[in-house]
Amino acid sequence: MSGPQTTPDQSGQVADAVTGNWVDRRAPGWARPYLRLSRADRPIGTWLLYLPCVWGVLLAMVQSGQMRLFDLWIIAGCGIGAFLMRGAGCTWNDITDRDIDGSVARTASRPIPSGQVSAKQALLWAIVQSLAALVILITFPVQAIILGIIALVPVAVYPFAKRFTWWPQIFLGIAFNWGALLGWTAHTGRLEWPAVCLYFAGMAWTLFYDTIYAHQDKEDDALIGVKSTARLFEDRTPKYLAWFMVLTVALMGYAIVLAAPRGEILVLVIALGGPWAMGWHMMWQLRRLKLDDNDRLLELFRSNRNAGLLPVLFFAIAVLA
């Protein structure tokens, strides 16, 4: 497969890793390729997988008016599980994309195309991470365990989506926001409509941030025939991002209205501050958007950690109100 090639950093550092990250500076040499497969040198993905989990738990706590010691374990366990499952999912993604990644400038330095690990070693690493995540999952209620197991399906399918649809970001959204369903169910013991609305809000958010991210690769993707919303939307991207922003705020707001206890106006108002603040952050991203500036695109993509933390802050205050 032909395409632009890059020479991997002699230290094995991945091209789009955070400068001075702990993997490149402090991890043992033998562990670095595996941690890079897990994107431990690029923590933003773990945040984006984890935050919907916290939304789900906290919004369920808003509805029930209860804050139990076990909820702290749900939040902590989801954090550990997000790190492990993001790592397993990224490793699987790199296995399936090993022939494509070598032809894309941004990804040619990843561990498999650069020869740091073999596909078989990567597959074993994905299994190890998945089993470790299962150990966390089985401490949750059975309904949440079932949801966690079902989540493996979109994780497995996502890497192939860009081969058959212009909307692979939808498949990423299905996988990355599953925690909203799981976190809610881990607290309540059942899946309910507020969690579903929150889940779809997260999907709209994923379409927003991952379209920004995908614009970094649009030229290379066009050469090798990989599809994405960035290539589909082209110069119309800001208009579509604005709609995804509106959907994110509206669906999250509706989830809050469904979940808030009747008569608790203060709780409702505080919780609604979450999507309002998140919407303003997304608007700030739109104003700074430059579709042909890869450094700016990566900066805006990473800023979505802060966007996703804003509802966490307001939901937590609402729980305590």
Q: What is the pLDDT of residues 273-284, one digit of tens each?
A: 999 999 999 999
**Which range of residues forms the domain containing residue 251?**
22-320
Residue 8 belongs to some domain of the structure: no
Residue 44 belongs to some domain of the structure: yes
Give the Cα separation of 289 and 237 in Å (integer). 10
Q: What is the pLDDT at residue 321?
A: 86
Q: Cα 80 from chain centroid? A: 14
Q: What is the pLDDT at residue 90?
A: 92
Q: What is the pLDDT at residue 247?
A: 98
Give the Cα separation of 108 and 100 in Å (integer). 9
Report the CATH number at residue 205: 1.10.357.140
What stretches in the chain show pLDDT beneath 50?
A: 1-10
Residue 12 belongs to some domain of the structure: no
Residue 4 belongs to some domain of the structure: no
Q: CB within 8 A of 231, min separation 6: which ones?
A: 166, 214, 218, 221, 222
Q: Which two tokens stand for residue 39?
A: 């994107």
**Total structural domains in the chain?**
1
Residue 11 belongs to some domain of the structure: no
Q: What is the pLDDT at residue 16?
A: 66
Give the Cα separation of 22 and 81 in Å (integer). 20
Residue 250 belongs to some domain of the structure: yes
DSSP string across 162-214: HHH-S-HHHHHHHHHTHHHHHHHHHHHSS--HHHHHHHHHHHHHHHHHHHHHH
Residue 110 belongs to some domain of the structure: yes
Residue 14 belongs to some domain of the structure: no
